[in-house]
Amino acid sequence: MKSPEASPLQTHPQSESDPPFNNPSQSVDFIREIINQDLKEGKNNGKVITRFPPEPNGYLHIGHAKSICLNFGIAEEYNGVCNLRFDDTNPEKEDVEYVDSIMEDVKWLGFDWEDRIYFASDYFEQLYLYAEELIELGKAYVCDLTPDEIREYRGTLTEPGKESPYRSRSIEENLNLFRRMRAGEFPDGSKSLRAKIDMASPNLNMRDPVLYRIRRVKHHRTENKWCIYPMYDYAHPLSDAIEGITHSICTLEFENHRPLYDWFISQLNTKSIPRQIEFARLNLTYTVLSKRRLIELVQNKFVDGWDDPRMPTLAGLRRRGFTPLAIRNFCSAIGVAKSDSVIDIANLEYFLREDLNKKAVRVMAVLNPLKLVIDNYPEDKVEELDAENNPENPAAGTRKIPFCKTLYIEKEDFREDPPKGFFRLSPGKEVRLKHAYYITCEKIVKDPKTGEIIELHCKYDPNSRGGWTTDGRKVLGTLHWVSAPHAKEAEIRLYSHLFLKPDPDDVEEGQDYKSNLNPNSLTILNGCKVEPSLMQAKPGIPYQFLRQAYFCLDSRHSSTEKPVFNRTVTLRDTWGKIEKSQRRKE
RNA sequence: UGAGGCGUAGCCAAGCGGUAAGGCAGCGGCCUUUGGAGCCGCCAUUCCCAGGUUCGAAUCCUGGCGCCUCAGCCA
């Protein structure tokens, strides 16, 4: 445990209204450790300023959420701020559609950049001036080598590169050429501005990296103002410095770029000295999390858009019914470190269920209906029974549900020949209808042709109203049901993992991850019977369909006549597990 | 045979010379008008391997091994 003054977590306790910070261990990750040390040494005047720097070339996914939670979370804990900065230095791939979705997703997760929304493109002029400064320092030059030649000159991992023949141009010539590059005097790709560092460096990033390229491409913000665009390695550290970022947190693949990051900061006299820290990106089992692949899934119609509920994008997860708190709790629970890791997706599902359990209204819905008639129940009688909305939260109150002679129950809740341990309905067996009565099955009606069970006849015990008797009778099984004449029809969409294997890259020679796509990741059920209250469902409100799963109204396919529900995540299924292991034994 | 990282349970992850936290998964049990939730218990004599230093090593030293990243005018 660190001393109290070393831990801002303790000097700035979270208020009551803050979501629970799910880190019972109280251990501090290596990034916060570094920040604590910097603070102790009095760096940055005791300030902590971070940034979340997405490139607007795709939708945000759960991996970005880890970074967002880290950057905004750290800012909050240390009483600092976190900027939202779009890293839009490559107009060929970027689009406003993406900046809009990114803003929506960050907000949805519950983070606030206030007025600090920035674009690297806002710094193009300043960045250009810095480049001239570098030229004047003799630290950058205009190079006429083609991309192919640059690659050849760069050398390899084990052999040093060789210097460009243009490396020794005079400062005046470089300045002149660079200005003319900006003025549009040279064709695309014909020249580049390069840093003059060390062609023999063991770190390839230091072998005279390109700073500016010529590209006549319309930028989504600066439009046609520029025909030269800065490279990430150059723009990023300087953008950080311009914003006064103290800790520039990024993923591991940029570790090799840190010497270059520091080089720019030390060559140019920036007023602030940002520090880059790298952590391991998130990987999830049964999931693919690279922009290249996600965009491929969308463009080749393997899924129905960026917000397909099977996608790991924040838009997809939101539509699927995930809550921001579940994602945030997940992100803080998995930790931050430097070892490449793959998180079991069961973790995500755990934190989802944990949150949904507290929030979801319990309702009854029958996915695969089986008609059930209570023979000894009066023909035209309808009762209004009380049902609690959420046993985890009595304040959620109760509602009335209609009950009568004809009901639907779930097909899989009846077995003519029950296996051992099955305590749902079977011939002669008494079970409880949730919130209603005890019933006993007396007769099965089958389709004479197919043998399929199409109707059940039962008797009920009038003394068990509400699902209780006073005689201490033990009724183990409880079934959900819906009144047949009152039930509404709904479409229900069941989702499972998009990929068949924990590691989508686990493929046969010559195949790629797409061969592991799960052909059954979406199952559409029609003719589902739901209780009437569900006709008031709104997207974004979580429901628990009792004994089954959490669901939410689909924001795209629902209509007033026919609601469509997405299965967010199943309930834990202990019986399913038992049955599975029984089957294994046989 | 270059450089930079990383190796602690099935999956994450603490640990910072004093005798292996916590979470997920799994497995038992209790409880239950959701086979849900909740509760209780179990789950690393050992930290990639081999030597060394030390009264004492996951932690320090030496030497191996394994994995990841880098040869875009992408980020």
In terms of phi and psi (left: phi > 0; alpha: psi -120 to 50; beta: otherwise), the region of A165 is: alpha
Tell me, yes or no, if A291 is annotated catalytic.
yes
Round and report the angstrom distance from CA (A219) to C1' (B69): 31
The CA distance from A74 to A24, in Å, is 17
Q: What is the CATH number of domain A365-480?
A: 2.40.240.10
Structure tokens at A392: 């985890």
Structure tokens at A417: 């020949």
pLDDT of residue A181: 98
Q: Could you state, in chain order, the average pLDDT of each consecutive group of 10 residues for chain A (586 residues)? A: 32 33 66 97 97 98 98 98 98 97 98 98 98 98 98 97 98 98 98 98 98 98 98 98 98 98 97 97 98 96 98 98 98 97 98 98 98 97 97 96 98 96 96 98 97 98 95 93 98 98 93 96 98 96 98 96 97 94 76
pLDDT of residue A24: 43
Instruction: Please state the ipTM of this predicted complex.
Output: 0.97
pLDDT of residue A326: 98
**SS3 letters for A487-522?**
CEEEEEEEECCCECCCCCCCCCCCCCHHHHECCCCE
Confirm whether any atom of chain B, the nucleic acid strand, is less than 7 Å from CB of A354.
yes
Residues 157-216 of A with CB under 7 A from strand B: 157-158, 189-192, 202-205, 209-210, 213-215
pLDDT of residue A344: 98
Separation in Å, CA A250 to CA A51, A254, A276, A553:
10, 7, 7, 36
Q: CA end-to-end span of chain A, whole Å?
A: 52
Domain spans in chain A, listed from the N-terminal domain onward: 21-279, 365-480
The CA distance from A393 to A497, in Å, is 31
Q: Spot the catalytic one: A93, A215, A281, A371.
A: A281
pLDDT of residue A23: 43
Structure tokens at A356: 């949904």
Record: fold of A21-279:
Rossmann fold (3.40.50)
Any idea what DSSP says for residue A480? -
pLDDT of residue A586: 67
Residue nearest to nucleotide B10 (CA to C1'): A344
Confirm whether any atom of chain B, the nucleic acid strand, is less than 7 Å from CB of A338.
yes
pLDDT of residue A505: 96
CB atoms within 10 A of CB A26: 11
Q: Which nucleotides of B are covered by protein (CB under 7 A)?
A: 1-8, 10-16, 21-27, 33-38, 67-75
pLDDT of residue A10: 30
Tell me, yes or no, if A281 is annotated catalytic.
yes
Q: Is the pTM of this model over 0.90?
A: yes
